[in-house]
Amino acid sequence: MQVIWGYVRRYVKSEINWIYFSLVVLLLTGLTTWFYTDKALMQSIGGGSNDSSRILNNLALYGGILFSTIALYIPFAKDKSWVSSHRFWLTVLFAVVVFSFSVYCYWHKEWLKEITDGQAEIFWLRCAKYIGNAFTIGVPVFAWWFLMDRKNQKLYGWNSTDVRPYFMLLAMVLPLIILASFSADFLRQYPQASKTLNVAKIEEGRMMYGLLFEFFYGLNYLITEFFFRGFLILVLSRWLGYGAIIPVAAFYVTIHFGKPLGETISSFFGGIILGILVLETRSIWGGVIIHLGIAFAMEICAAIMKGGM
């Protein structure tokens, strides 16, 4: 546990620029307030529809926050050589396009309608979205690594590390999750498995379907860690060093828009901590443990509060 706090203290003491940090916080505060007070705006982003305007909205949101926070960093960067690097900006653009397309993409929707119906269609539609992310995010990032980086490093973040401190950190976070589970806002959002089963009106074999949903739900978090920490942090840090952490954390906040406000706000600080850990260890496994642990703890606590899955 002391190892993790040592990483964080070193970053806060030696790497973070507080003026830049404050500017990004102000930007995120304004953006979050705007989205959470404008329901029509909130509904215009994300997936769930084949409306082509959504991908443009996603590009504007994700690209806007990532490019703007990087641009804000320029005056504070000690080494500005990356500003003229075409490969750097191409990497940023690639990340924005891949994630925006993945969030929008519901390519499996019509296919599912052909092979399923009724309750099964609704259930598999939600699960297939998580599986689809493995292809729409995982495959392009793997291809990027294979074409651009395989000679320089192992697949982004897939290095072993000592995982014991992360389980200790997870144990410290658990009381906060339990406390959050008493919130009506929290219980409207979780458990995700129960919401899916209820919408699909699945009663027979409910436990089996619930566990199956949780497996794919967890797979989605693994892909998220691979993209944000394994790919974005490790690749952008070649140019920005520890300066890559805050822009990626800001991007990470925007993918939480629509979730409980407390979760969205905390994702910024969580994103910073996970970014520090991956730069120190060159491994995403700590982040995977924390992310999956928190996600499943939220599911379990909400299920207990509601009296079951």
What is the pLDDT at residue 148? 92
Single out the residue of 306, 273, 48, 116 nearest to residue 198, CA to CA: 306
What pLDDT is attached to residue 309? Answer: 61
What pLDDT sits at residue 49? Answer: 55
pLDDT of residue 254: 95
Q: Chain centroid to CA 212: how far? A: 21
What's the pLDDT at 267? 93
Q: Which two tokens stand for residue 195?
A: 């919401």
Structure tokens at 285: 């496994």
The domain locations on the chain are: 2-306
The pLDDT assigned to 144 comes to: 95
**Which among 75, 65, 31 has a CA at the least distance from the CA of 243?**
75
pLDDT reported for residue 186: 84
Task: Say if CB 58 and CB 100 are below 8 A apart.
Answer: yes
Provide the whole-model pTM. Answer: 0.87
Residue 184 and residue 178: Cα distance in Å, rounded? 13
pLDDT at 29: 97
Angle at 248 between CA 143 and CA 129, to 5 degrees: 55
Spans of the chain below 50 pLDDT: none
Residue 184 pLDDT: 83
Question: What pLDDT does 50 receive?
Answer: 56
Maximum separation of any 2 CA atoms in the chain, in Å: 61
What is the pLDDT at residue 259?
A: 85
Task: Check residue 255 and give its pLDDT.
Answer: 92
Residue 47, pLDDT score: 58
pLDDT in tens, 216-263: 999 989 999 999 999 999 999 999 999 999 999 999 999 999 888 888
